[in-house]
Homo-oligomer: A and B are copies of this chain.
Amino acid sequence: MDKIWNKYEDIQKELEAVVSFMEKNTKCKDKKIEGSIKELIHSGGKMLRPAFVIISSHFGNYDAEKTRSLASVIELLHMATLVHDDVVDDAKLRRGQETVQSKYGKDYAVYIGDFLFCVCFKILASSATLQSIKIDSNSMSRICLGEIDQLNSRFNSNLSVKSYLNRISGKTAELLSLSLYTGAAESGCSDGLCKQFWKIGHNIGMAFQIIDDILDYVGSNNVVGKAVGKDIKQGIFTVPFIYAANKNRRAFEPYFHKEVFSEEDVRKIIELVNNNGGITSSRELADKYTKKAFNLINRLPENRHKIILKEITEMLLKRTY
């Protein structure tokens, strides 16, 4: 369990129950499959999404068992998308550990992701309402479309900020919105409160992703565990690039029509993005979403879980960048 939860003993306990529930629901005759899913469950993710479900559940009529199921579904959906993302990205490592596709092969990873999707809907059918299932599958399809959009945009330098925001809204913000929304909705919060939680998740997700994308241009491998220039190398142009390239198209011209970038290209692009205000403008954009998130959190009913959500969001969005 990530150490960020040490401070919140009850959340930590509930997350441990989520882990047990996920293990129980992914048991299967084939021990290799069971083992590889167990590795995923214990791979050291922050468990942010299930924690969000738990936190927002406490704003309504909290039902421990139901919340545990829903939180598990969200984390399993997240795991399924990560496994498939790693297939697509050809990723060797995730959270410092070998990925499913690198360890067991791409083929295996495709089916493990599918199997996890099925487990999610099986749990949902036992513990959620039809309305929740509809919202969950809607969100999941938006996440897929966000990923496809990112694929289709590779090495397309004609991106607008708007299309970038649209893409990360699906790719990242959607599942965070869904987490906070689901907990609230299934514990009987008012429509207004549910929507407020949805927006909080959206703004946190947008800020989080923009910060993550900035780190591709300024981070150091040791600090954030993410290699600088990784996105650029894959032809994924994020908002720092978009801002800088729109400001100084002439400087970026040589890179607009390439379909492969050398190490030297990547180094040069990072320099150009930094020199043309790409980082500054992106930080301003992240700040805008961060502020919106905190404004919305501040307007939540007063209780201990509001304070937890605020502290976790601070920790999440105040990363060094």
Enumerate chain A interface residues (CB-CB to B < 8 A): 28-30, 32-33, 81, 84, 87-88, 105-108, 110-115, 117-122, 124-126, 130-131, 133-134, 136-138, 140-141, 144-145, 147-149, 151-152
CA distance A140 to B126 in the complex (A): 16
> B residues within 8 A CB of A151?
105, 107-108, 111
Contact of A110 among B88, B126, B130 (CB under 8 A): B88
CA distance A286 to B105 in the complex (A): 33
CA distance A184 to B101 in the complex (A): 40
CB atoms of B133 and A111 under 8 A apart: no
User: Nearest Cβ distance between residue A88 and chain B, in whole angstroms?
Assistant: 4
> B residues within 8 A CB of A120?
137
> B residues within 8 A CB of A32?
152
Q: Which residue of B lies closest to A29 (CB)?
A: B145
Assuming the contacts A125-B133, A125-B134, A133-B133, asked whether A148 and B112 have C-beta atoms less than 8 A apart, the reply is yes
CB atoms of A114 and B117 under 8 A apart: yes
Could you say which of A117, A131, A136 has the most chain B C-beta atoms within 10 Å of its C-beta?
A117
CB atoms of B133 and A107 under 8 A apart: no
CA distance A124 to B128 in the complex (A): 14
CB atoms of B30 and A145 under 8 A apart: yes
> B residues within 8 A CB of A144?
111, 114-115, 118
> B residues within 8 A CB of A148?
30, 33, 108, 111-112, 115
Q: Which residue of B lies closest to A147 (CB)?
A: B111
User: Nearest Cβ distance between residue A41 and chain B, in whole angstroms?
Assistant: 17
Q: Which residue of B lies closest to A36 (CB)?
A: B148
CA distance A124 to B111 in the complex (A): 22
> B residues within 8 A CB of A124?
133
Assuming the contacts A122-B134, A124-B133, A125-B134, asked whether A114 and B113 have C-beta atoms less than 8 A apart, the reply is yes
Could you say which of A110, A124, A152 has the most chain B C-beta atoms within 10 Å of its C-beta?
A110
For the complex of A and B, list the 6 residue pairs with the smallest distance between their C-beta atoms, beginning with the closest. A118-B141, A125-B134, A121-B137, A125-B133, A88-B107, A122-B137
